[in-house]
Amino acid sequence: MHDKVHQAGVTERVALVTGANKGIGLEIARQLARAGVIVLLGARDRGRASAAVHALAQQGLTAQAVQLDLEDEASIAAAAASIAAEHGRLDILVNNAGIVDAEDGPPSAASIAAVRKIVNTNFVGTLAVTQAMLPLLRRSPAARIVNLSSSLGSLTLNGDPSSPYYSARLIGYNASKAALNMLTVQLAEELRDTPIVVTSVSPGYVKTDLTGHQGFLTAEDGARLPVQHALRGADAVSGRFVEASGDTPW
């Protein structure tokens, strides 16, 4: 076990970013590394994780590959054990990994298999990772958990005919993000007497594989808000659901 220390004597923060081999996850990892954070780049495929680490190294940034499959509890437990052995704690957890499925759709027509897979990955898998990492986060003096949500997970906006999200009826994906928001709310309450801050962040409509590159924002743009909350100091407020324009209604 070891801590890397700045010349000023301040211990560097350690961050795990799930689904970090591409898209917003990779950009979050890049921006955290630029901020001097020790970045653990989590991905299902070890080779893709290593390739992403190499890509960051070519930009002068250091990261470590961590094999992590949200649908494989053994891989989650192994990742937690390796982080404990190498670093002894975790200061930042960015729950970025998530999926969509072409067979998702409105409640009357969505494939049940697709909905089950989406919810199992986006919500149950994220819960499993969070549970496994909590003992390490509790060892941090001021840990941050950032859940990558979506305005599509807002019950308020889904029920508002004037909202641009009203017609986006993807029962599996939207429900998975609403459930993720419930995790943020309940976890923030459970941890209210600790220094751990939990936040749901909607990065916006970002051009990634997840959106079929149809978004308005670049991955660099979309990563800024999650990184801001991952690095937030003593003014951080737990249990918020935020997007670039401010707080989002649950």
The catalytic site residues sit at: 173, 177
d(CA 69, CA 249): 31
d(CA 16, CA 65): 10
d(CA 186, CA 202): 18
**In angstroms, what is the C-alpha Rg of the chain?**
17
For residue 16, the SS3 value is strand
For residue 200, the SS3 value is strand
The amino acid present at 53, given as its one-letter code, is V
Query: What is the strand order of the sheet 197-201 is part of?
Result: 63-67, 38-43, 14-17, 92-95, 144-148, 197-201, 240-243, 246-247
Residues 6 or more apart in contact with residue 178 via CB below 8 angstroms = 153, 154, 155
The amino acid present at 175, given as its one-letter code, is A
Residue with tokens 């409105």: 106
**Nearest CA to 200 among 152, 131, 129, 136?**
152
Task: Give me the count of residues in the chain.
Answer: 250
By DSSP bridging, strand 246-247 and strand 240-243 are antiparallel
What are residue 16's DSSP bridge partners? Answer: 40, 93
